[in-house]
Structure 1
Amino acid sequence: MTLLDGITSRLIDTDRLTVNILERAGDDAETTPDHTLVLIHGNVSSSLFWQELMQDLPAELRVIAIDLRGFGGTESLPVDATRGVRDFSDDVHATLTALGIETAHFVGWSMGGGVVMQYALDHPVLSLTLQAPVSPYGFGGTRRDGSRLTDDDAGCGGGGANPDFVQRLTDRDMSDDAPSSPRNVFRTTYVAPGYTSDHEDIWIESMNTTSTAEGNYPGDGVESPNWPGFGAGKIGVLNTMAPRYFDTSGIVDLAVKPPILWVHGTADAIVSDASFFDLNQLGVAGVIPGWPGEEVAPAQPMISQTRDVLDAYAAAGGEVTELTLEGVGHSPHLERPAEVRRAILALIGYIGKTVYPAPPTETIIISSSD
């Protein structure tokens, strides 16, 4: 039983593939775009992770959570990583087209943040909420300005996946008997210490929907003369975020700039300026031997990169609100749901908002009267 009360699922046939979506029972299919919210999950997850947020949003909204290809109940066609995340964003567009939705407000989590940024580069959107998003310059292998460290993106992509974790996803492992089990990966990296939920089994089931078929997660790798010995391949999920293929910093130049909400936690183990999912950071820490040093293989400053791009977006006339949550991990919508909900509702104009001057951490605090 993976669906919570009031949540329904159905398959949508598109001109690209068959897509699974979650909706709320009773939502009106005729709801206008300004009251329509589209939720896009991250890597090794599915739409199931959005259910608590869906339940808590006002009934006047139409809320749709989409499974990306190879996740949840959506068809697991191969992912062409040389297109960045465009296979995913094009699938989202095909799904919304089949539903008769021309535009909407978008929420993207982690890799899904990259997907909705790419979507905004290709199609009009009303707003973007980026929750713990992948850097606009991809995952790994770049300096703060987005320039690539090597021509083959050494240390990035599918070659860096833990084989035991991949096998456990294939086996749909629900145990907690090893550090690399999906349950322990969730507990130690998806959320900050101290988070508990009666729905943890659902979150692990969601992770286990990840397709590990060829062309899906994690993707291929190639040999590299550069440390740590492999570079990004051309197929599969992790390679979509390699910097040779992924760059959404072009949102700064959008002629029509949707308002952006950036939500992130200070205890995020996955997306940070010192991410332990970045192999260069593991080299810095001595976990992987032979690290060639800061000049050659610096850790990717993911948060700083995102802030730089969003600062440029604001300087170019866009509206950006940053919500930093102290002690929160990679899943703010699970860990601090009320604050995330209020921030989203303020962004889309459903409730009024007051934006206070940013404190030294550059966090913008949102308050509302609801």
Structure 2
Amino acid sequence: MSSLPDGVRSRTVSTDRLETHLLETGRADGDPVVFVHGNASSSRFYAELLADLPDRYRAIAPDLRGYGHSERRPIDATRGLRDFAEDIRALVAEIEIEQPALVGWSTGGGVVMRYAIEQPESVASLALLNPVSPHGYGGTRRDGTPCQPDYAGTGAGMANDDFIERLEAGDRRADSDASPRNVMRSFYLAPETELDPELEDAYVDALLNTETGDDYYPGDATASENWPGVAPGEGGTNNALSPKYLDLTGIVDIDPAVPILWIRGAEDRIISDTSFFDAGYLGKIGELPEWPGEDEYPPQPMVSQTRAVFEEYADAGGEYDELVVEGAGHSPHIEQHDEVLSALTAHLDDATTRIGNS
């Protein structure tokens, strides 16, 4: 493992589900916060944030199954991120944490929403960094209905084969648009973001520690008669994100409601109403041939969908705040560290006060 910031500790915990590697900071008796990373990443992407979090918090950042240094166990996509959420619940129980605040980035945002939907009484608050839409990733209209009956254009079949091959080869170079380093530079970060070279290397190493295959990243795919010719399979992370299996709109009805902080980078190209990983948008800009048009397959309005669901949440008695971080893309906690740390700390402090007064 690459070097970690001062104060960040690393260990592996055995649960009845998984050998889970994690990073942690803070006091053992501090208020617990669990950080869940996104797809094609690991807990290492949180290390600098954990290092600067006040010591009054006990921060835990696990590697999900198939990522980082955690055990490789298959991902059942048909369960819509439940494998990940149940792994986190098993970890929380094993290390005797009660009612943690949950922080989820990208796919991790979907994982913690799933956790809260299925066990709301065990969650103190939610902080979501560029989370996947509650309607899943790709291939839906504004109201969440699928563009194609078999959800064609979503799931593992949309992944870039060259990128996958370079992941498998451990390619650390920057000689191709599909190299992991350049994908991270182009899509995890806003164009103007330049990382310290050593830190960039650490993140590239973490990205490369992604298990690939039909049961991992990106998963398996099936042929489709519908545009663009490929539909989700049943294994792996990208299929678990497909709206065929992932529906997180139940967040509206959780009881008790918890405060939600939604943080998103203004220049995100992954979770966006104009996402460069969405078949509808790629078709619209001419990157996917034979696009059937806006009426049949519009770009998925991911951010607008999320806001609409959170507005329903507020109407039902919950509360949420939306923070748009300028100068940030898909990784605002890395790109605009201080702003995100300040907002996150205020959110966590508020949630802790509420629990103390309840």
TM-score, normalisation: structure 1: 0.92
2-structure distance, mates of 1:94, 1:88:
10
For 2:154 and 2:9, the matched residues in 1 are separated by 37
Partner of 1:224: 224
Task: Give the equivalent residue in structure 2 for 1:278.
Answer: 278
Match of 2:102 in 1: 106
1:367 corresponding residue in structure 2: none
1:92 equivalenced with 2:88 (yes/no): yes
Give the partner amino acid of 1:168: R
Measured against aligned partners, the alpha-carbon deviations of 1:120-174 in whole angstroms (never above 9, x if no partner) come to 0112200000100000010001111111122211010011111110111111111
- The equivalent of 1:365 in structure 2 is none
CA distance in 1: counterparts of 2:77 and 2:221, whole angstroms: 11
Q: 1:96 and 1:352 mapped to 2: Cα distance?
A: 18
Size of the alignment, in residue pairs? 348
Q: Which residue of 2 aligns with 1:12?
A: 13
Q: How does 1:306-321 map to 2 (within 5 A)?
A: 306-321=306-321
Give the superposition deviation at 1:50.
Answer: 0.3
Q: How does 1:141-156 map to 2 (within 5 A)?
A: 141-156=139-154
- Distance in 2 between the 1:349 and 1:236 partners? 36
Distance 1:186 1:156 in 2: 21
Gaps of 5+ in 2: 354-358
**What is the CA distance between 1:352 and its match in structure 2?**
11
Report deviation, 1:178.
Answer: 0.6
Say which SS state the counterpart of residue 44 (structure 1) adopts. Answer: coil
- In the TM superposition, residue 5 of structure 1 has moved relative to its aligned partner by 2.0
Distance 1:288 1:207 in 2: 26
Alpha-carbon separation, structure 2, partners of 1:151 and 1:87: 25
Q: Which amino acid aligns with 2:158?
A: G
1:188 to 186, 201, 214: 186
Contact 1:346/1:352 (<8 A) preserved: no
Secondary structure of 2:24's counterpart equals: strand
> Is 1:28 the counterpart of 2:27 in the alignment?
yes
Deviation at 1:76, TM superposition (A): 1.2
Alpha-carbon separation, structure 1, partners of 2:84 and 2:3:
24
Look up the match of 2:259.
259
Q: Distance in 2 between matches of 1:170 and 1:2?
A: 23
Report the alpha carbon displacement of residue 214 of structure 1 after superposing the two structures with TM. 3.5
Task: Report the alpha carbon displacement of residue 37 of structure 1 after superposing the two structures with TM.
Answer: 1.0
SS of aligned partner of 2:217: coil
Match of 2:237 in 1: 237
Which residue does the alignment assign to 1:74? 70
- The yes-or-no answer on 1:305 pairing with 2:301 is no
User: Partners in 2 of 1:156 and 1:71 — Cα distance?
Assistant: 21
Q: Which amino acid aligns with 1:189?
A: F
Kept in 1, the 8 Å contact 2:27–2:55? The answer is no
The superposition leaves residues 335-368 of structure 1 with CA deviations (integer Å, 9 ceiling, x where unpaired) of: 1111111111111226999xxxxxxxxxxxxxxx
Q: Which amino acid aligns with 1:244?
A: K
Q: Any residues of structure 2 matched to 1:281-292 within 5 Å, and which?
A: 281-292=281-292
What is the alpha-carbon root mean square deviation over aligned residues? 1.4
% identical aligned pairs:
49
Show CA shifts across 1:90-134 (max 9, x none).
000011111011220011000000000000011220000010000
Using a 3 Å threshold, how does the CA distance of structure 1 residues 87 and 351 change in structure 2: closer, same or farther? closer
Q: Taking structure 1 as reference, are residues 326 and 28 closer, same or farther at Cα in structure 2, changes over 3 Å only?
A: closer
Deviation of 1:288 (Å): 1.1
Alignment of 1:154-165 (within 5 A): 154-165=152-163
Gaps of 5+ in 1: 354-370
Does the Cα contact within 8 Å between 2:213 and 2:220 map onto a contact in 1? no
Q: Deviations over 1:257-279 (max 9, x none)?
A: 11000000121010000101001
Query: 1:4/1:283 Cα in 2 relative to 1: closer, same or farther (>3 Å)?
Result: same
- Deviation for aligned residue 1:8: 1.5
Q: Which residue of 2 aligns with 1:360?
A: none
Q: 1:30 deviation in Å?
A: 2.8
Q: CA deviation at 1:192?
A: 0.3
- Tell me which residue corresponds to 2:43: 47
Contact 2:20 2:91 in 1 (8 A): yes
Give yes or no for contact 1:182–1:208 (8 Å, CA) kept in 2.
Answer: yes
User: Which amino acid in the other structure matches residue 92 of structure 1?
Assistant: I
- Measure the CA separation in 1 of the matches of 2:313 and 2:103: 18
Between 267-276 and 141-150, report the one with greater CA deviation: 141-150
CA distance in 2, matches of 1:90, 1:2: 29
1:351 to 1:256, Cα distance in 2 relative to 1, 3 A: closer
- CA distance in 2 between counterparts of 1:168 and 1:7 reads 30
**Contact 2:32/2:101 (<8 A) preserved:** yes
Of 42, 62, 72, the residue aligned with 2:58 is: 62
**Cα distance between partner residues in 2 of 1:218 and 1:2:** 28
- How many Å separate the matches in 2 of 1:4 and 1:57? 12
Tell whether the 8 Å contact from 1:345 to 1:351 is kept in structure 2 after alignment.
Answer: no
- Give the equivalent residue in structure 2 for 1:359: none
Q: Distance in 2 between matches of 1:251 and 1:171?
A: 39
Rounded to whole Å, the distance in 1 between the matches of 2:266 and 2:223 is 35
